[in-house]
Amino acid sequence: MRTRELHEGWTVRAAGGPAPAGIADAEVPAVVPGVVHQALLDAGLIPDPYLDDNEAKLAWIGLVDWSYRTRLVPSEAEFAAERLELAFDGLDTVASITLDGELLAEVANQHRRYRLDVTGRIRPGGSELVVAFRSPVRYANAQSLALGVRPRPYPMPYDAIRKSACSFGWDWGIATYTSGIWRAVRLEAWSTARLAEVRVHAAPEGDGGVVTASVEVDRASDTGLELELEAAGASARVGLPAGERSAEVRVELPSVERWWPVGYGSQPLYDVAVRLYGPHGPLDGTSRRVGFRTLRWDTAPDAAGHPFQLIVNDRPVWVKGANWIPDDALPSRIDRARYERRLRQAVAANLNLVRVWGGGIYESDDFYELCDELGLLSWQDFLFACAAYPEEEPLRSEVAAEAHDNVVRLAHHASLALFTGNNENLWGFEDWDWKRRLEGRSWGAYYYHELFPAVIAELAPHVPYTPGSPFSPDDGRHPNDESSGSTHLWEQWNRRDWASYREHTPRFVAEFGWQGPPVWSTLTRALSDDPLTPESPGMIGHQKAIEGNQKLSVGLVPHYRVPDDMDAWHWAMQLNQANAVSAALDHFRSHAPHTSGAIVWQLNDCWPVTSWAAIDGDEREKPLFFALANAFAPRVVTVQPREGGLVAVLGNDADEEWVGELVFARRDFGGDELAAATVPVSVAARAAVTVPIPVEVAMARDAASELLTAELGSVRGWWFFTEPRDSALDEALLEVEATAVDDGYEVTVTAATLARDVTLLVDKLDPAATIDRGLVTLLPGESVVFRVAGLARVFNAAAFADPRVLRSGNQLVAR
């Protein structure tokens, strides 16, 4: 097999539609892999779509047909091969592919790969290869009419085209309407035979393991072949007689190490090679990296309903997760280094799972390989989200092809914990008035309940599957019944205060979250509003949620007053976002093992926007990031309200027993102890213990000026008897010292008064600056050391003490 990437020498031009003057007649160098936005940006023909109101100014791009072209000149060796094929790993989305004007294929699916036979069709001097894309907006609209309009939450009919749904815009996402050769394209020359499909599975057996490779071959000649599998130094071969196209080969290994999720053990990976031989030697080969582990989800009914408990290597895992969206709205710009930065941030936030949400993309191989290496479990939705989808042709066959393609591509990964049929479509069918509006039309049930389970059973029976998220394993229950399976909780953000999370005790939470603006330097880079206010034009353009700013304010006022100053408003909304998710996670974790995990919406952003993300579109960590790290820490103490009063819940997500004296103290805001108690405790490994708090400690005399702490060793939980806005919280008196170290500064903050949620917003000193922690509450006399890195120049303590940089909850209460 000879493989040559075809990434150079492409141009792109508008081929029809409302392209403006200066672009309509331009043919510019094209980025491949890439989309047309990148070519136009590189040519200086459009502004950055992420800035100000440029999204609206560039909406015409999705109404234009775009034509990519290059000159294809094979080498002598490529011409001499028995087969010459074009391999496209991704085309976005509806395109005609021609060679010297002769049609090779018409395609209409961003989520699958294509292979086109060009044997004998390329001229000796070279041929012109053209990939002509149709406007995705006009195509989707036409298909929606042809297939029948179906319910969805947004105007554009993303359900009528097999394209990333969020490219048409979402409640956190910019509408880009991309077109382009968005993944790799190659010219592949081969003779005799090639590996057409390789499925590798690693399974532990006792102290050892078995690696199996199931292979399909394409043949150019009918001759005997040999297939070799090599894994961890062991190998095996099987023959493929003339005419045979399928084979399976396995290798048994006497000793292997188990792969574990991060926090539960190491992540040993083993290299696997699959090679194809003909009568005269090697023909083709490929490689995989695998890990040995068992994985299942326990949904067996119990007295409380149906759990949704992840079990890896026969050990229950409490899922600490976040939902993942495409990390850039122009996803071809995401390289391996960027994936690694983001996923390492996930590990730093103490996550052990990322859920790839169904309105985005099947991520690149780099994403899943990094999850394997880092021990981050991956949950992969099939790409259906929040809408009724037609089951008729041409979509029916396209969905089958993309499911086959992506199950084969992803199923060998040790990190892959679950395939899920869709996001919220089972729920939507029940609750969102779909039945009446569909009037008998198909809505996707065939995909979720028949097609996908059949594809997985055939190609990857070792990978668990659920028809949707949320989903109840009990067919008689509502799909979002919190007593059974997975649950999404959105009433808090949409209609209720976040304190009402405590009214729910779900078995597993797959989505919940709270909005907040991006980091200040991200916001001010993206917007040139003067003045910048919560309702200035750029802010509104970068707030995609329905009544988003109103919900931010309504969600803040039970806890803090809405500030008039923009800088303070920004901090208040970021802090409330962090507090909302912290309270929810502390509550959910306090109900382990009844609640077996929580997946926050969302980890990342695809552009600079007010959203639910913990990491904004410029890759910067919001205060929410530190809320996740704190709530998902291996060991936590939280104070929780129960019917009988306040309790302390100790969560020990470590392999060692946690033993010591649990110290309760009720104090006034000046730090003076008013009541105390000590209880000896022992928390088993990977377990939780609930300890009632003595009434003399748990009952405040003056709720507005008292607090409660529960401490085991260096781990402390807090309880405030009133909301900050109703409390006697005064100005935070903080002393700051800054010491230069090799990679930045150690900034010591010492509190002379009670200080809630102390955080350094270091990006205001330098947009490249980072910090190791946030949201630290200090009693009078206590200190915390922040480590700051990435500063390009020297700063003194006064710079870190600037009240716009050194933030606390006190600033939103004290007058």
What pLDDT, in 10s, does the model give residues 127-156?
A: 999 999 999 999 999 999 999 999 999 999
| 483, 304 contact by CB (below 8 A) | yes
Q: Give the helix/strand (H/E) hosting 589.
A: helix 566-590
The last residue of a domain, from among 726, 749, 773:
726
Q: Based on the domain organization, do 358 and 494 belong to the same domain? A: yes
What pLDDT, in 10s, does the model give residues 239-289?
A: 999 999 999 999 999 999 999 999 999 999 999 999 999 999 999 999 999
- Kindly tell me the burial class for residue 348, based on how many C-beta atoms sit within 10 Å of its own C-beta (0-12, 13-18, 19 or more): middle
pLDDT-based confidence at 16, cuts 50/70/90? Answer: very high
Instruction: Using the structure block, give the residue that is written with the tokens 């939470």.
Output: 509
Q: What is the mean pLDDT of the chain?
A: 97
Q: Based on the domain organization, do 167 and 99 belong to the same domain? A: yes
Q: Based on the domain organization, do 654 and 666 belong to the same domain? A: yes
For residue 134, the 8-state DSSP code is: P
Q: Give the helix/strand (H/E) hosting 804.
A: none
Which CATH number is 711's domain given? 2.60.40.10
CA separation for the pair 625, 615 (Å, rounded): 7
The contacts found for 494-502 with CB under 8 angstroms, 24 or more apart, are 494/551, 497/555, 497/558, 498/555, 498/576, 498/579, 498/580, 498/583, 498/584, 499/558, 499/583, 501/580, 501/583, 501/584, 501/587, 501/588, 502/583, 502/587, 502/640, 502/641
CA separation for the pair 18, 805 (Å, rounded): 46
The confidence score (pLDDT) of residue 271 equals: 98
The confidence score (pLDDT) of residue 743 equals: 86
| 805, 765 contact by CB (below 8 A) | yes
Is 82 among the domain residues? Answer: yes
Is 536 among the domain residues? Answer: no
Which CATH number is 15's domain given? 2.60.120.260
CA separation for the pair 635, 654 (Å, rounded): 7
Q: Based on the domain organization, do 739 and 774 belong to the same domain? A: yes
Which CATH number is 481's domain given? 3.20.20.80
Q: Based on the domain organization, do 650 and 606 belong to the same domain? A: no
Helix (H/G/I), strand (E/B), else coil: 524: helix
Strand partners, 610: 543
CA separation for the pair 175, 155 (Å, rounded): 11
Q: Based on the domain organization, do 712 and 592 belong to the same domain? A: no
Over residues 682-693, the mean pLDDT reads: 97
Chain CA centroid to CA 46, Å: 29
Is 303 among the domain residues? Answer: no
Neighbours of 101 (CB within 10 A): 8
Q: Based on the domain organization, do 482 and 598 belong to the same domain? A: yes
Which CATH number is 774's domain given? 2.60.40
Is 297 among the domain residues? Answer: no
Amino acid found at 143? Q
Which two tokens mark 452?
């996908």
What pLDDT, in 10s, does the model give residues 74-116?
A: 999 999 999 999 999 999 999 999 999 999 999 999 999 999 9
The confidence score (pLDDT) of residue 814 equals: 72
State whether the Cα torsion 312-313-318-322 is positive or negative: negative
Which two tokens mark 629?
């790290």
Helix (H/G/I), strand (E/B), else coil: 225: strand
Helices then strands, each counted (H, E), the chain: 19, 42
Q: Give the helix/strand (H/E) hosting 529.
A: none
Instruction: Using the structure block, give the residue that is written with the tokens 């960027």.
Output: 338
Is 452 among the domain residues? Answer: yes
The last residue of a domain, from among 290, 307, 333:
290
Q: Based on the domain organization, do 626 and 641 belong to the same domain? A: no
Tell me the residue range of the domain where 437 lies: 316-518+578-631
The confidence score (pLDDT) of residue 469 equals: 98
What pLDDT, in 10s, does the model give residues 511-559?
A: 999 999 999 999 999 999 999 999 999 999 999 999 999 999 999 999 9
Q: Give the helix/strand (H/E) hosting 284.
A: strand 281-290
Is 419 among the domain residues? Answer: yes
The confidence score (pLDDT) of residue 394 equals: 96
How many domains does the chain fold into? 5
CA separation for the pair 400, 162 (Å, rounded): 11
CA separation for the pair 671, 664 (Å, rounded): 14
Peptide bond into 623 cis (omega under 30): no
pLDDT-based confidence at 644, cuts 50/70/90? Answer: confident
CA separation for the pair 358, 511 (Å, rounded): 12
What pLDDT, in 10s, does the model give residues 712-729?
A: 999 999 999 999 999 999
Residue 152 has phi, psi (to 5 degrees) of -160, 160
The confidence score (pLDDT) of residue 636 equals: 98
CA separation for the pair 788, 745 (Å, rounded): 5
Is 446 among the domain residues? Answer: yes
Which two tokens mark 441?
């039309």
Q: Based on the domain organization, do 99 and 117 belong to the same domain? A: yes
What pLDDT, in 10s, does the model give residues 29-64?
A: 999 999 999 999 999 999 999 999 999 999 999 999
Q: Based on the domain organization, do 461 and 484 belong to the same domain? A: yes
Nearest to 236 by CA among 246, 227, 223: 227
Peptide bond into 394 cis (omega under 30): yes
Query: Over the Cα atoms of the chain, what is R_g?
Result: 28
The confidence score (pLDDT) of residue 815 equals: 61
For residue 563, the 8-state DSSP code is: P
Q: Based on the domain organization, do 694 and 608 belong to the same domain? A: no
Q: Based on the domain organization, do 388 and 448 belong to the same domain? A: yes
The last residue of a domain, from among 703, 726, 749:
726
Is 451 among the domain residues? Answer: yes
